[in-house]
């Protein structure tokens, strides 16, 4: 862990991620966590490790400042489910871009905010071949299509349950692969307020940093 100014501890998480060291609960019983990364196994484990540590310290509120290009559907939904079950109140704040599966992570917050110049991007699920030569027969194609449809249904259900966007509009968003502004997010119940980030002086900040 690297330490910044007094009262502002900054946790740097190397690869692989390590949990915060034991210590007293953050000042004011609220912690600010900054996450700006792709959603994958490493970053998911790191964020959940930080949140588990804060929960063990009996922190009442975690304020997650989020910016992500998206990533793994499985890990994004894992984050959504576990964050929703944490014993603290979770606030999420879009501080840049919340894209793809990142929208599910963002929607885990009980209170949700967006910076005025942030964006939300929605698109359907796809798959990569990773440069491999794959022969697509009917069986494999059906398996891939079923997997894509199942993932889209799971994501769509979260969006519909946690916002004012209905299933038909979710499907349209996935097909169009559109980017929306905070005004749209506010009107559709994705966010509760459009506002800048304001961290009180002396509040604890945990910055997740990943080596590339």
Sorted by sequence, the CB contacts under 8 Å of residue 99 that are 6+ apart come out as 68, 69, 70, 120, 121, 123
Burial class (CB in 10 A: 0-12, 13-18, 19+), 115: middle
Whether 111 contacts 135, CB under 8 Å: no
Tell me: the pLDDT tens digits for 151-188? 788 888 999 999 999 988 988 888 777 899 999 999 99
* Position with higher pLDDT, 35 vs 172: 35
Tell me: the pLDDT tens digits for 112-156? 999 999 999 987 665 555 656 666 677 766 766 666 767 788 888
Q: Which domains does the chain have, with CATH numbers?
A: 2-207 (3.90.226.10)
pTM across the whole model: 0.80
Tell me: the pLDDT tens digits for 65-87? 999 999 999 999 999 999 999 99
Strands 2-3, 9-10: pairing is antiparallel
In degrees to the nearest 10, what's the CA dihedral of 19, 96, 159, 192?
100
Two tokens, residue 111: 């209170």
CA-based Rg of the chain, rounded to a whole angstrom? 18
In this prediction, residue 96 has a pLDDT band, given cuts at 50, 70 and 90, of very high
Q: 62 phi and psi, to 5 degrees?
A: -115, 130
């Amino acid at each position: 862990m690297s330490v910044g100014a007094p009262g502002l501890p900054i946790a740097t998480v190397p690869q692989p991620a390590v949990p915060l060291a034991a210590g007293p609960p953050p000042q004011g019983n609220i912690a600010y966590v900054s996450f700006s990364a792709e959603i994958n196994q490493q970053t998911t484990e790191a964020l959940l490790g930080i949140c588990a540590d804060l929960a063990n310290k009996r922190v009442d509120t975690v304020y997650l400042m989020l910016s992500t290009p998206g990533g793994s559907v499985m890990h994004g939904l894992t984050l959504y489910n576990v964050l929703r079950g944490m014993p603290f109140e979770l606030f999420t704040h879009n501080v840049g871009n919340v894209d793809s599966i990142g929208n599910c992570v963002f929607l885990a917050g009980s209170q949700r905010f967006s910076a005025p110049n942030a964006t939300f991007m929605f698109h359907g699920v796809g798959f990569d071949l990773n440069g491999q030569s794959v022969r697509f027969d009917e069986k494999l194609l059906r398996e891939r299509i079923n997997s894509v449809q199942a993932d889209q249904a799971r994501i769509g259900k979260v969006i519909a349950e946690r916002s004012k966007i209905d299933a038909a509009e979710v499907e349209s968003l996935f097909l169009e692969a559109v980017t929306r502004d905070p005004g749209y997010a506010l009107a559709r119940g994705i966010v509760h307020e459009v506002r800048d980030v304001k961290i009180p002086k002396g509040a604890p900040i945990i910055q997740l940093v990943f080596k590339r």
